[in-house]
Structure formats: structure tokens, C-alpha cells
Chains A and B, each alone.
Chain A
Amino acid sequence: MTGCLLRIEDLSVAFHGPEGNAWAVTGVSFDLNAGETLGVVGESGCGKSVTSLSILGLIPSPPGTIESGRVRFEGRNLLELDPETLRGLRGRDIAMIFQEPMTSLNPVLTIGRQVAEPLMVHRGLSRSAALAQAAEWLERVRIPAARRRLDDFPHQLSGGMRQRVMIAMAMVCRPKLLIADEPTTALDVSIQAQILALMLDLKQETGMALLLITHNLGVVAQMATRVVVMYAGQVVEEAGSADLFDRPFHPYTQGLLRSMPRLGSRTAGTRRRLTEIPGMVPAITATMAGCRFAPRCPHAFEHCRAHPPDLFAVRDGQRARCWLQPYPQRRRSDV
């Protein structure tokens, strides 16, 4: 398994409620190589965040349970590790940053203390040594006057600065894998650009792998080497970035790309109508025969509604969960 840092195999996660089981994720598999940036993209409820939380054993249980699958990190199945070992890995080899830095930072601890903590816990550094390194990291994530900021509390920083603190906290132990779940979604576009550039710099510098979870196709296109598209708890397409954006195969991927307005597509007097994906994401409690996208798919034919498709190889490095691969003549040319 040279190069493969993280391998998710056949992961299924369910949430148990009074109205039955909600299958948030079913049969998700993908690989992430050392040093690679993999984008996981999809709309609300597609299972992308649940997948990322499963990696570090962060699914709240109850009500959630991992029903099946393996999460192999450097060959070891994380789902079988005892909590103690997993805690040793979290924050050291695998770190995570979230969308909302205000709710993921502790409001009553100084940022110096919070950035230093992983070094004290995982590396056994003394408080002063850890604080010195924390100050260096705050400088590296370009927090102005970093040393003076060590004693600040999270509420004294702007949203962009808080996300920089989160990144510093995640990076101090030089993880092999950084999981970033919607890291820039709460930020303004100019701050988003700064944070994305910072993440790319740090990746180059440290050689870490990045698992980037986002709903934003622009962010994925700018950051990822490979992309996994999720829909209703499944991987529906996987491809290198260039193939995914140039030659998307799955009707859902195609629909997503067509439904977004593009900057610069407006010329005087003209207005293109956006292509809609009709309907909405099916409830994940529903038992579904066939392809989960079939009810919204412009190409769907009888077979799609009866039989769930596999992930078929489309070309080297690209797979799509779609019957149009074995039945290409069923693709309608008028959509």
C-alpha cells in the first residue's frame, strides 16, 4: 500500500431515531494518498461530514452507529482501535478543522494555551516550550503581532483570525493528514482566499495530505487533486480534478456544475437561464430501489429505477455510479 495513507472501505453509518434508522452513509469507499488533496463534495445531507467524522470516531453515539466498514490509516483500522490509542492519534497524526471556529475554540482559554495544548499532550513539551512553539505557529499562519496575541481570547479575534488559530492548533504536531470540514464556508470571500492560500502553503511545506470536505465546487477546483462527489449517502462519482470539471460523467455532477452561475458569463443584454436539478434530495429513511438519483435524473430509464448501479470505471481514475456507463446509448442528447 505504498502511498495510500487513508483508505475508507465500505463505510456505512446509521442514526437511530424514533421513526426508524436514517442511513447517513452507505457503502462509501475511497483512498487518500500521502501528500494528496482529496475533495469530498456534495450538498447538505449527502453524508460528507458524517464520513469525515467517522474517521476520527467522532460520530455521536447514540444515536449514531458505524454499521459496517473499515477506516485504514497507514494500514491500521481506526474503527477497531481502543479509545486511548485513537486519542493518541487524534491531533497528532490526524488533525481536523471545522466550519465554525467560534464554536470549536474554547471561549474561556487563551489562544496561546489552546494552540500549545496538543504539544503538551502529544509531545510532552513543557508549558513554556509549547507556548514558544505556539507563538511560532501563530506567526506561520500569519496572525499579526502573534506573540502579543497569545494571551487573547477567541472573542477578541475576527472570524478569519479564529480560523487561522484553528489551523495553527491543527498543525502544531505536524499531522500526516488534515481533515478540513467546510473550513471557509463561514468566511467572506477575500478571507476565504487568504485561508485557502495558507492551507496550500502549509501543505507544500509539510507534505501533509488534505481531506477537504466542502459544498463549494469552486473551492474544490482550486484546491483538490482528486474529487469524490457524494449524493444521498453514496459516492456517485470519483475523478481527478481536471476530468471531473472537464468531463463529468454522472448526471448529478453534470447537473451541479450546470446549476451554478459562472462569473463572467454575462454579456450585455443576455441572461442565461440556470439549469435546475428538479426536485430535491430524497429522505434518507426511505428504502430505495434502484439509483438514488433516478427520481431527479433527466436520463433515467426503467433499469435505473429497479437496480442500484455500481461504481463503474469510466476512464483511468474516474468512476461513476451510473447505468449510463454500461448503457451509453440511453444517454439523452437533448439535456
Chain B
Amino acid sequence: MSDAPLLRVAELAKHFPLGGGLLSAPRAWVQAVNGVSFEVRRGECFGLVGESGCGKTTVGRMILGLIPPTRGRVEFDGQDILGLDRRGFGRVRRRMQIIFQDPYSSLDPRMTVERIVAEPLLAGARPPRAERRRVAAGLLDRVGLRAVDLDKYPHEFSGGQRQRIGIARALCARPELIVADEPVSALDVSIQAQVINLLQDLQQEFGLSYIFISHDLSVVEHVCSRIAVMYLGSIVELAPAADFSRAPRHPYTAALLAAVPLPDPHRRGAPPAMEGDVPSPIDPPAGCPFHPRCRYVFDRCPAEKPPLVPAAEGHLVACWLNDGKGLPAQVDGLKVEDGRLLR
């Protein structure tokens, strides 16, 4: 394994046209992703976290070539993959797979489990049927299903089992990177733990790297080694997991953490740290995207967008309050304790 990152994303952006038609120009642009840069190391689980509409899913899809970016670069294993021709891209693309959120709509209901799981083989060396079946059976066994399940259809399985089928399919191509887009969000708590443990075991066993996209801060903190927090199409903070909830440095991260209802009736009652809704990505605020909702806003924030810069070892933050000492301590006597903002 080399030290070079497996994936490097630079200044990636996606603006979707809104309205307009064949001959007329679009009425407006939805700025879903606005210049996002990060690296994913080999064997790492990299988290992308944020609320609906922050652009995390669009980033994942652009990396996989499912959505063409408006601008930016995606390098996989040192190679700029957006400039590749169809065949070249196809070769790289097999090394990256995706697991979707909804195990009910992401599996073709008319295909048997065998065909679903072994389908990636048809895009490669096209081994004979018996070999494909053998591979599929091995993968099912690895994800906790049985060989007798090969001839069944998706509707015969529970949500957790379907997610296992989706994982087996993703593994079939022997990928190096898996983009997992809300892979456990549709599952019940007890099943969620099973699937998280499975994903972690597979990561070890196959040396996989993950981009783990989720809105659930507790899950992301648990599974990821580094976490990028997105807001309105930008990364506002990128922290090692050990710092994420203990020492958040962006006011948005701190407020988001404070909003998580803790399973502890003895720690109740912090008032909501954020008022209002996320502004529309059609006409996002100038300067720092978070400034209209930020309690520490000052004159520089609406004027200039803060860059994502180091604030501590391996910890980046895009906030004008960042002086390298950690965010809240120096601002109106605010303290952060276990992800709760204390005054």
C-alpha cells in the first residue's frame, strides 16, 4: 500500500439548471455543490455528513461518474478520471462501487439474487454461469446470507437482508472504494448495528476504503476515521473522528451536534442552537454560507467566504473565527462539552 491517497477530489462543483427549456436559458441554478476538495486514504472510512440538500449525495455521485460535475477534478489512484474515454473510465469505475440507502428500490425486483449479485462479473471477464454462481454464493455467505437464497427474489427478504444483498453486489467487482450513501438509514436500530459491523469487518478483510455518506452524526462518528461536514454545498469542517464531537470548531458543526437528541434522560433541555431552515441553494447567502444562522456572525462573514484551512493537527475549518485555538472557547465565554454548547 502506498501513502498516496486513493482518491483526490479538487474544487468539485455541480450547478443544476432550474426551469428553462429547449431554447430558453435556465431561470436559475441550484448550486448543489460549490467547490469541494478532500482526499480519501487507502483503507480509510471517510465520512460526509450534513442535512438534506447539503450536497453530500451529489458529491458521491460525481465521484462515481453518475452525475457530470460542472467543474473540478476527481483523481482515482493518481489518474484524472474525468478526462478518460469510455473504456478507460469503465476500467476505473469497476474499482469503485456504491451501496444505496433504500434497499427496497435499489434492487431489480425481476432479477434473482444470483443475477443481482453476479451482475458486475458480466462487465468484466464474463466467466461462465457456474463460476458466476459460485462467486455469488461465496459473497452471500460472506455477508451473512445463504446459498439457498441465490434463486430468490428481492421481495422475499427483509430490509436488512436486502442491504446485505446490495453489499454483496458491491463486493463482487472486488472494488477498492465503496461509496456508501446512507447505507443504514432505512434500517431499524438492531439491524443497523449488524450492517455497520459487517461493513467494518469487510473493510478490514478486503482493505476497502469507504466514503460513508450519512445524516446521522452518531453513526458517522462511529464508523469513520475522518469526517467532513457539509453545509449548502461546501465543506465547513473536516475533522478526525476523535475530535469531531469533542472539539468541533465550526459553529454549524457545534449546533448540529447540540441538536442530536442524546439517549440520556439526565442530559436534557439544551435549547435548539439553530433557528430557521437551511437557506435555498438556488440563491445561497454570500460569504460564509452559514452566516445568516450563525450566532457568532460578524462583519467579515457575509462579505467573504472563509477558506477551509488547518486549525489543528489534521483538522480543517472554514470559519473566520478560526484562530487555530479551537472555535468556541474564545467567543462569548462559550464552552463545548460532549457536543453540547454550554454558556
Given contacts A191-B277, A241-B265, contact A260 B193 (CB under 8 A): yes
A-B contact pairs, 9 of them (CB 8 A): A190-B256, A190-B273, A215-B188, A222-B268, A245-B263, A261-B219, A265-B221, A276-B197, A277-B194
Size bracket of the A interface = 35 or more
Residue with the greatest number of chain A CB neighbours at <10 A, chosen from B222, B240, B255: B222
The residue on B at minimum CB distance from A274 is B193
Closest residue of chain B to A158 (Cβ to Cβ) is B277
Answer yes or no: A257 CB below 8 A from chain B CBs.
Answer: yes
* In the complex, chain A residues whose CB is within 8 Å of the CB of B193: 259-260, 274-277
- Is the CB–CB distance between B158 and A273 below 8 Å? no
Contact of A221 with B190 at beta-carbon distance under 8 Å, contacts A261-B196, A266-B222 already known: no
How far in angstroms is the closest Cβ of chain B from A165? 14
CA distance A266 to B260 in the complex (A): 16
Find residues 258-288 in chain B having any chain A CB closer than 8 Å to their own CB. Answer: 258-266, 268-269, 271-278
A219 touches B261 (CB 8 A): yes
**A-B contacts, CB under 8 A, total:** 143
Take A261-B222, A273-B197, A274-B196 as given contacts and tell me if A44 and B260 are in contact as well, using a CB distance cutoff of 8 Å: no
The A-contacting residues of B in range 135-165, CB under 8 angstroms, are: 158-161
Q: Contacts of A193 on B, CB cut-off 8 Å? A: 258-259, 261, 272-274
Complex Cα distance A17/B255, Å? 48
CA distance A158 to B279 in the complex (A): 11
Q: List 3 A-B pairs, minimum CB-CB distance, nearest first.
A: A218-B261, A261-B222, A259-B193
Q: Given the known A-B contacts A190-B256, A266-B241, are A44 and B197 also in contact in the complex, defined by CB atoms under 8 Å? A: no
Contact of B256 among A189, A261, A275, A278 (CB under 8 A): A189
Does A104 make an interface contact (CB < 8 A)? no
- Which positions in B face A, CB cutoff 8 Å? 51-52, 158-161, 188-194, 196-197, 200, 215, 217-219, 221-223, 240-242, 244-246, 255-266, 268-269, 271-278, 338-339
Of the candidates B158, B218, B266, which one forms a contact with A263 in the assembled complex, judged by CB atoms under 8 Å apart?
Answer: B218
A188 to B338 CA separation, bound complex (whole angstroms): 20
**A267 close to B (CB within 8 Å):** yes
**B222 touching A264 by the CB < 8 A rule?**
no
* Contact indicator B262/A263 (Cβ below 8 Å): yes
Q: How far is the CA of A218 from the CA of B268 in the complex (A)?
A: 10
A245-B265 CB under 8 A given contacts A189-B256, A266-B242: yes
Residues 167-211 of A contacting B (Cβ, < 8 Å) = 188-194, 196-197
- Given contacts A274-B193, A276-B190, A263 and B259 within 8 Å (CB-CB): no
How far does the Cβ of B325 sit from chain A's closest Cβ, in whole Å? 19
**A189/B260 in contact, CB under 8 A:** yes
New A-B pairs, 14, CB < 8 Å, besides A221-B261, A259-B193, A264-B221: A189-B259, A190-B274, A192-B261, A197-B272, A217-B263, A218-B261, A220-B263, A221-B265, A256-B189, A259-B189, A259-B190, A262-B263, A263-B245, A276-B194
